[in-house]
Chains A and B, each alone.
Chain A
Amino acid sequence: MESNANLLNRESLITPQRSYADVSRDVCRPLESFPTGRWYVCLMISLGALLIGVVAGFPLLRDGLGVLGINNVVAWGTFITNFVFWIGIGHAGTLISAILFLFRQRWRTAVNRSAEAMTIFAVMTAGIFPILHTGRPWYGAFWLFPYPNQRQLWVNFRSPLEWDVWAVSTYFTISLLFWYLGLIPDIASVRDRAKNKMRKLVYTILSFGWRGGARHWNHYEMLYLLLAALSTPLVLSVHSIVSFDFAVSILPGWHTTIFPPYFVAGAIFSGFAMVVTLLVIAREVFNLKDYITTYHLENMNKIMLLTGMMVGYAYIMEFFIAWYSGNLYERFAFINRATGPFAWAYWIMMSCNVITPQIFWFRKLRRSIPIMFVVSLIINVGMWFERFVIIVTSLHRDYLPSSWEYYVPTRYDWAITLGSFGFFFTFFLLFCRVLPTVAMFEVKSIMKPGKESYN
């Protein structure tokens, strides 16, 4: 797996002087010992947020969507913002695990597991919103699927929402398989290390009888490669299709051909920001600093810098095209974004997403843990607002000036948004407790134990 051709003095991917045994021990420690106080604190915060969301969800389902701030004109608000946001978050995982795998980026090994887990949980979180935001979720949850039924109802395959159903569910399925496949050898390691009977039983079942034989590895590598190849186009397609929800409509500010690449870039941007946020916390809480090093984080910051500029380009290009098209409504939609009643949201988005990542041009700042943590949070906020700006500012002032309206999210909007973060982090924290957060066997493959450094 290793190339000797690299003459440059590359930074080591993990802290030197670590043995294979160290890797297994360090990675499995959170699974095999009682959780730390810090983990409990994190879990309590997450559960608290989740609980707020659940409590707010009851009136939402009982009384109707009226508890939210949406209205006749701005019929989509924070829920669809959250949906697109969380789907976007989910992109980094697949990108790291599939695309970077195909490009043989070896630094991915330390971070891909948690990034993929994040993908799974983010898509799960995202999936809540389209269902909750329908007027009648008790029907919406299944009438969107074309199942044979005696009422002879069918779905409308011309609707982008229907495409969403397929795109997101496919993405979720493939991501889950891909993630789980990668987990099997490591689960087997955990199984082998287990001293407790129950524990052994559970991990035995989960490891699907992995024995680490040559045939197993052979099949594993082939399947992993295939799944990587399958999920690579999905990274691009899912958010392209999510962007079709907007691009295929006729609303000025939504009806834009730049949306698919712009959404994908934005998704990767936000996904990496979330990965950095999570890993900075995880390496602290679970003491994985030797494996998730500054080098990994720096690499991700570089990707954020790149994708940040891509979205920045898209923001500017949208304005240019709006002007260049000569379309009255289109022009207004964009001027209104920057100067209208929701200008505050627009400028939050611009400053968070375009200006903030520029500090990653400086190596020192790029490698500073506190700075990158703050920047990643800012980018998360910015990307949430990007979706908010796209959805709300385009809707609130569309074709007929008579139907212009303002939109104010209510406490239910915020509570359920908060709840979605709680949902996501709760799952992530539980994942860190029960499954290895670093792909041990992949990290081992890039190690050269006993040497000062591997090059």
Chain B
Amino acid sequence: MSKKKEKFWGSLEQAEDVGREFISPPEKQVVSEIDRRDFLKYMGAGMLLATMACTRRPIEKIIPYVNRPLEVTPGVANWYASTCTGCAASCGVLVKTREGRPIKLEGNTDHPVNQGALCIRGQASLIDLYNPDRLDGPIEMKRDVTQKGQISWAVLDRKIQVKLDEVKARGQSVYVFTGLANSPATSKLIEEFLTVYPGRHVTYDASFPAEILDAFEQSYGSRSLPRYRFDQARTILSFGADFLGTWVSPVEFAKGFSKGRRVESGSMSRFVAIEPALTLTGTNADLYFPVKPGDELLVAYALAHEILVKNALGNGIYHTLLTPYSIENVAAQVGIKAAILKKIAQNLLDHRGSGLIVGGNPGAKNAAALQVVVNLLNSALENDGATLDWSLSPSLVSTSLSELVDLVSEMKKGNVGALFMLDSNAVFSLPRELGFTEALKKVSLFVDFSNQLNETAVLADFVAPQTHFLESWGDRAAYKGVLSLVQPTIAPLMNSRSFEDSLLVWKGATTSFYDYLRNFWQNEIYPKAATGVGFEAFWQEALQKGVVDYRAGDDSKAKLASSRSVGGQALGTLPATIKSQEGFQLSLMPSLQVLDGRFANNGWLYELPHALSKVTWDNTLSISPEAAKDLGVVQGEVVRIEGDGFSLELPIFVQPKLYGKSLMTEVGYGRTVIGRFGEKVGVNTFPAQKLVNQNIVWQGITIHSISKTGIREKLAITQGSFNTHGRPVVRDASYSEFLKDPKAGNEDSTHLMTLWTKHEYKGHRWGMAIDTSLCIGCGVCQIGCQAENNVLVVGKDQVSIGREMSWIRIDRYFKGDTANPEVVYQPMLCQHCENAPCETVCPVLATVHSDEGLNQMIYNRCVGTRYCSNNCPYKVRRFNYFDYAEQIHKPTHLALNPDVTVRSQGVMEKCSFCTQRIREVKDTARTEKRVVKDGEIKTACQQSCPTDAIVFGDINDANSMVLRWQQGPRAYRVLEEVNALPQIAYMTKIRNHEETT
């Protein structure tokens, strides 16, 4: 307003105001700085403003947590204890929720089964919760997928109740078909339901070795499972049981197994595996012997002969049976040297009462007979009652296969009026010979409870989608006296209802399952637990801790040997003569990834490299190198195998450690009715299974011909070479060498000079140590990392051209003999090198060293030259070739960890040592005005490791565990000679495979 207009002047006089009268007459002299025109302008504008002043802006309320939910603090995770329902093992889990969304599953350290760890399938079941293919509401399927129609729960309830009453009126029975049932409340509810509508409860779990239950029943008269105490076993002998992978309770067994493998503790267990088909467990054996399917029974006989007959142990009737099977007679047939078998027998005798012998995988040839002999051995060696703890037998409801056979015949007769199918995909996994699918047609009401469509659900009348276990109430009994609760951590994402609630409604009850469960616990569990507090307090504590443990006695000590001996009637089931079969034989294995197919349609599991083959997104036909050579087939070549009534086309994977003519493949793949992730993943190998004498046979299936199809498939294998090519990347020694010199197998480190000045670490300096002796190669760390760090799934096409995103991988190397090599697993992740080669070459300083020794990756600064990856000797950096995050299917994005950036297209990423977890603990410590305690920070890989092979901590802390490990005689650094000075030390692999005192 204050400006005066510049006037132009025509002459100097004018400029100096000479002749002023011509320019501004006195009467017009400016009084105010506003002239008339400006005044009018301002007045107009002012009036306009005055009229506008009353208009309000549109109201858009943003509401903070004024009444915020009591438990939710934005940015702070809540942890809820629950129980994993993926298999019968019933591991306790802690569910990490952020702003009400479950984002990670971790093992519950208070739970005596898994003690803090959780298997790959358990951890990956988190994203099943967010699976976009989940059903949203009940479906009237009418046994035809093209006819399906969405209905409401009310309509469903009405229709089912009407039908159930019809069934009851007709006098037909109602069958409830479930997986292995170890939920006391649910079992009770089913029982009650079946009193209202008479019928039976049948269970079937394709990946559970139910034969061993049959054998226990024959041997000891009770159909129950002992608690296997791998932690107390000094010598372990396994006949093909994959107890570290899928067998019964793998996480618990891995925990226990690892306790005996800590060489620094002064002793080391010996593990001998005799396997008809290679398992993850077998690769961790000190001594491994591949045999023909069925021959493991012969070996068991021979060992029993050596132990029982020669030492005159046990009942005489066994001796007559065992006479023909002396080691000398058997050795040649099974291809194991007699001297070795004798040593094994001697070793078992030496560790009487502290040995453990376990039987076969599901569907093993002569599985029940094998288990009977195993029982015989365990009893004779007084392991029974010691390492096999019967005092804690879980109250598992598991019916034998004969009941299933009965069910099918009842169905065929038309006696089954209604069939409820829970947690089981029977149409997919039951043997064809059983005729289950055909028999279904005679059932007037067939209801499936799957929350995603599967082969069985599409044949149902109704699909009543049950909630995911993270949305439901429930309980599990892992052992006698060890109970845990399943509690919901999120309201059902889809319009689904728990099986139990459905059952309650159809039964005519008005209570919810929550009330039912509480009542059940109040009446059944609470009195037994006898805690002395009120029920409310007991219930609260159970919910909080996730587990109620009222086992009697001290758990840590070995139990006294039982005096039980194997019942004579069991011997009747033993085959009179055993002839091992020649020619190619196929073995089906429960999948490490998807078990029997129940975890199919899960991207995390599909993309996790298979522990044995490192193949992703596929099941393969594993074949020994020798057989591959004979047949002239190479990796990836698709072959057709034909047996009795089936033919399969599978890509070849050449697998060392397999018996010459053994073929091996996994079940659970090749599902046809499945969601978007599982489409065309692998081949369904269930058609190869056989039903022989009311036993399902998965191993030793005769193959008549193997022919080439001429097709070559590119397998998505994540490991380039299984051979170390003479490079000292893994180091190993035998236990006897280790006892003589703890540094055995570990070369002295080379002293190299460096051009750079060393970093200074005034506060913390993070480091890691990994014991390759303990690592069993299960891949749990990879899934744990994936969940924690938002590592994205990229799909088969990307993995097959080498673009997998996992921040940690497990390298597996073979050593020695090509047919039966020794195996070393080596988890490989960013080494956070002191002289990081990646840091110097980044032109934009997107990867730099922190003052706590972390090699940091700054995503928003990265332009993606990928030079860092080229210069990384460990090749642990991962590049976002596409915008993979764009491809997340909603609502899976809810599973992302909000503490970790989701990386965008064109940036590099890699292991951060879980910097957000470090931050969290440091913040807590600061709030509590204390220092960070050793072991307080756990990286995701470390946390999930079932064998505690990973230690993380502060190297600057003189008392830290990680420093002790790093300075130990077994510690070495990978590629030390490159002088990158990695912060991760590896411990040599120790094998107890020689005679030691």
Binding site for B on A (CB under 8 A): 63-66, 69-76, 130, 133-137, 139-140, 143-144, 153-156, 158-162, 165, 245, 248-251, 328-329, 332, 395, 397-406, 408
Q: Determine if A401 and B723 form an interchain contact, defined as CB atoms under 8 angstroms apart.
A: yes
Q: Is the interface of B mostly helix, strand, loop or mixed?
A: loop
List chain A residues, Cβ under 8 A from B930: none
Distance A158 CA – B86 CA, assembled complex (angstroms): 52
Q: Determine if A249 and B803 form an interchain contact, defined as CB atoms under 8 angstroms apart.
A: no
Q: Could you pull out 14 A-B pairs where Cβ atoms are within 8 angstroms?
A: A63-B883, A64-B905, A72-B803, A75-B879, A76-B866, A134-B863, A134-B906, A139-B863, A144-B863, A249-B837, A400-B811, A400-B975, A403-B720, A406-B802
List chain A residues, Cβ under 8 A from B726: 328
Distance A283 CA – B130 CA, assembled complex (angstroms): 69
List chain B residues, Cβ under 8 A from A405: 720, 802
Q: Determine if B869 and A72 form an interchain contact, defined as CB atoms under 8 angstroms apart.
A: yes
| Residue in B723, B862, B881 whose CB lies within 8 Å of A66 | B881
Q: Determine if B729 and A64 form an interchain contact, defined as CB atoms under 8 angstroms apart.
A: no
B874 CB-CB contact with A under 8 Å: yes
B840 CB-CB contact with A under 8 Å: yes
Distance A161 CA – B846 CA, assembled complex (angstroms): 13
User: Contacts A72-B879, A73-B875, A156-B844: A136 and B907 contacting too (C-beta < 8 A)?
Assistant: yes
Interface of chain B residues 894 through 931 with chain A (CB within 8 A):
905-908
A293 to chain B, nearest CB (A): 45
| Residue in B828, B861, B882, B907 whose CB lies within 8 Å of A400 | B828
**Which A residue's beta carbon lies closest to that of B876?**
A403
Distance A280 CA – B144 CA, assembled complex (angstroms): 73
A71 to chain B, nearest CB (A): 3
Q: Determine if A65 and B906 form an interchain contact, defined as CB atoms under 8 angstroms apart.
A: yes
Q: Determine if B869 and A75 form an interchain contact, defined as CB atoms under 8 angstroms apart.
A: yes
Beyond known contacts A65-B881, A135-B908, A398-B873: 16 more, CB 8 A cutoff: A64-B882, A66-B798, A66-B803, A75-B870, A75-B879, A134-B863, A136-B863, A143-B861, A156-B845, A158-B841, A161-B841, A162-B843, A399-B975, A401-B721, A403-B719, A404-B720
User: Contacts A66-B798, A154-B845: A161 and B865 contacting too (C-beta < 8 A)?
Assistant: yes
Q: Determine if A140 and B863 form an interchain contact, defined as CB atoms under 8 angstroms apart.
A: yes
A413 to chain B, nearest CB (A): 12
Q: Determine if A144 and B843 form an interchain contact, defined as CB atoms under 8 angstroms apart.
A: yes
| Residue in B727, B861, B862, B881 whose CB lies within 8 Å of A401 | B727
Distance A399 CA – B720 CA, assembled complex (angstroms): 12
7 A-B pairs with least C-beta separation? A135-B864, A135-B906, A404-B720, A71-B802, A66-B881, A403-B875, A402-B811
Scoring B residues 253 to 273 as 1 if CB is less than 8 Å from chain A, else 0, what string do you get?
000000000000000000000
| Residue in B813, B862, B980 whose CB lies within 8 Å of A135 | B862
Distance A402 CA – B873 CA, assembled complex (angstroms): 11
B801 CB-CB contact with A under 8 Å: yes
Distance A404 CA – B866 CA, assembled complex (angstroms): 17
Scoring B residues 794 to 827 as 1 if CB is less than 8 Å from chain A, else 0, what string do you get?
0000100111100001011100000000000010
| Residue in B865, B870, B905 whose CB lies within 8 Å of A395 | B870
| Residue in A66, A153, A403 whose CB lies within 8 Å of B882 | A66
Q: Determine if A401 and B724 form an interchain contact, defined as CB atoms under 8 angstroms apart.
A: yes
B772 CB-CB contact with A under 8 Å: no
Distance A436 CA – B725 CA, assembled complex (angstroms): 59
Q: Determine if B840 and A159 form an interchain contact, defined as CB atoms under 8 angstroms apart.
A: yes
Distance A162 CA – B845 CA, assembled complex (angstroms): 11
User: Contacts A154-B845, A250-B978, A397-B720: A71 and B801 contacting too (C-beta < 8 A)?
Assistant: yes
Q: Determine if A400 and B866 form an interchain contact, defined as CB atoms under 8 angstroms apart.
A: no
Distance A65 CA – B865 CA, assembled complex (angstroms): 11
**Which A residue's beta carbon lies closest to that of B728?**
A328
Distance A402 CA – B801 CA, assembled complex (angstroms): 15
List chain A residues, Cβ under 8 A from B882: 63-64, 66
List chain B residues, Cβ under 8 A from A139: 863
Q: Determine if A408 and B801 form an interchain contact, defined as CB atoms under 8 angstroms apart.
A: yes
Distance A71 CA – B794 CA, assembled complex (angstroms): 13
Q: Determine if A75 and B873 form an interchain contact, defined as CB atoms under 8 angstroms apart.
A: no
List chain A residues, Cβ under 8 A from B826: 402
Q: Determine if A400 and B875 form an interchain contact, defined as CB atoms under 8 angstroms apart.
A: yes
Q: Determine if A72 and B802 form an interchain contact, defined as CB atoms under 8 angstroms apart.
A: yes
**Which A residue's beta carbon lies closest to that of B725?**
A401
Q: Determine if A398 and B875 form an interchain contact, defined as CB atoms under 8 angstroms apart.
A: yes
**Which A residue's beta carbon lies closest to that of B980?**
A250
B788 to chain A, nearest CB (A): 20
List chain A residues, Cβ under 8 A from B721: 401-402, 404
Q: Determine if B845 and A75 form an interchain contact, defined as CB atoms under 8 angstroms apart.
A: no
Interface of chain B residues 100 through 127 with chain A (CB within 8 A):
none
Scoring B residues 305 to 337 as 1 if CB is less than 8 Å from chain A, else 0, what string do you get?
000000000000000000000000000000000
Q: Determine if A155 and B802 form an interchain contact, defined as CB atoms under 8 angstroms apart.
A: no
List chain A residues, Cβ under 8 A from B881: 64-66, 70-71
List chain A residues, Cβ under 8 A from B566: none
B878 CB-CB contact with A under 8 Å: yes
B923 to chain A, nearest CB (A): 26
Interface of chain B residues 848 through 873 with chain A (CB within 8 A):
861-867, 869-871, 873
**Which B residue's beta carbon lies closest to that of A248?**
B841
B801 to chain A, nearest CB (A): 5
List chain B residues, Cβ under 8 A from A162: 843
Q: Determine if B841 and A135 form an interchain contact, defined as CB atoms under 8 angstroms apart.
A: no
B877 CB-CB contact with A under 8 Å: yes
| Residue in B845, B870, B883 whose CB lies within 8 Å of A251 | B870
List chain A residues, Cβ under 8 A from B841: 158-161, 248-249
User: Contacts A400-B975, A403-B720: A136 and B864 contacting too (C-beta < 8 A)?
Assistant: yes
**Which A residue's beta carbon lies closest to that of B845?**
A156
A305 to chain B, nearest CB (A): 34
List chain B residues, Cβ under 8 A from A401: 720-725, 727, 729, 813
Interface of chain B residues 230 through 252 with chain A (CB within 8 A):
none
Distance A69 CA – B865 CA, assembled complex (angstroms): 15
**Which A residue's beta carbon lies closest to that of B837?**
A250
